[in-house]
């Protein structure tokens, strides 16, 4: 697979960029800036300076930054040592590195 195919159906919100709205991303969503609204994606990466506020539905999530409101990761939720989740999180499996934080409720799906 070439690099162009690898990024098909993906979105990257760069550091310092703020977006608001509703997004459906068939591939990977990378949030290094700020997103407020709704996001549906296959794979989510919130960078260390990334902030996501709203309702999020993904298959798997890798959180270095912060999420607020509702996060649903149907398969796997990984909260890195710098990651912060505030609100409601549901997941298939969860992994929290030392220092990672969930404030609110975290529940397995099902």
**Per-residue pLDDT tens digits for 41-78:** 999 999 999 999 999 999 999 999 999 999 999 999 99
Dihedral (CA of 91, 47, 26, 21) sign = positive
Q: Could you tell me which residues come within 8 angstroms of residue 1 by beta carbon, excluding any fewer than 6 positions away? A: none
Percent of the chain at pLDDT exceeding 70: 91
- Structure tokens belonging to residue 31: 């949030």
5-35 b/e (C-beta count within 10 Å ≥ 16 → b):
eeeeeebebeeeeeeeeebebeebbbbbbbb
Comparing C-alpha atoms, which of 28, 39, 27 is closest to residue 72? 39
> What does the chain come to in residues?
110
Whole-number pLDDT of residue 105: 73
The pLDDT of 23-35, averaged and rounded, is 97
**Cα separation, 63 vs 25, whole angstroms:** 17
Q: State if pTM tops 0.85.
A: yes
Query: Sheet holding 51-63: strands in order across?
Result: 11-13, 18-31, 34-46, 51-63, 66-79, 84-96, 101-108
């Amino acid at each position: 697979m070439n690099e162009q195919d690898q990024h098909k159906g993906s979105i990257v919100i760069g550091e310092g960029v703020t977006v608001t709205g509703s997004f459906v991303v068939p591939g990977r969503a990378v949030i290094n800036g700020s997103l407020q609204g709704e996001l549906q994606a296959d794979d989510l990466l919130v960078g260390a300076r990334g902030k996501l506020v709203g309702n999020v539905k993904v298959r798997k999530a890798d959180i270095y930054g912060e999420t607020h409101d509702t996060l649903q990761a149907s398969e796997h939720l990984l909260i890195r040592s710098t990651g912060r989740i505030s609100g409601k999180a549901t997941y298939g499996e969860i992994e929290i590195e030392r220092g990672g934080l969930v404030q609110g409720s975290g529940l397995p799906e099902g």
